[in-house]
Amino acid sequence: DAKTTQPTSMDCAEGRAANLPCNHSTISGNEYVYWYRQIHSQGPQYIIHGLKNNETNEMASLIITEDRKSSTLILPHATLRDTAVYYCLSHGLGWNNYGQNFVFGPGTRLSVLP
């Protein structure tokens, strides 16, 4: 079962900020939040991750709430090439049944519109 929930789909106008929410209400203190995206017919691509502080890189920003129960991925100026399925995951680095951490649910299908 997925430990995160995301909206099924979202639309965003080209050039505007895309804000993709993710709920992870059962996240543990040592679990990170990761975001990946999958453009049609390609393998998933890492975007960003964080523990409790907000993070920013060349692709996106990650805003994590103070209680860490939810986060938002922000694409500041969405382009048509950002149209993809975005996956939010939460997992730690424990060793037992480690693979079961990696639950890529249906994600959010973001459509960037011209």
Partner 1 sequence: GAGVSQSPSNKVTEKGKDVELRCDPISGHTALYWYRQSLGQGLEFLIYFQGNSAPDKSGLPSDRFSAERTGGSVSTLTIQRTQQEDSAVYLCASSSRGTTSTDTQYFGPGTRLTVL
Binding site for partner 1 (CB under 8 A): 2, 32, 34, 36, 42-46, 49, 87, 91, 93, 97-100, 102-107
Find the angle CA(8)-CA(112)-CA(62) to the nearest 5 degrees.
70
Helix residue spans in the chain (DSSP H): none
Closest separation in Å from C-beta 46 to partner 1: 5
CB of 112 to partner 1, least distance (A): 20
Nearer to partner 1, 8 or 66 (CB): 8
Residue 94, judged by CB atoms within 10 A of its CB (0-12, 13-18, 19+), counts as exposed
Nearer to partner 1, 41 or 114 (CB): 41
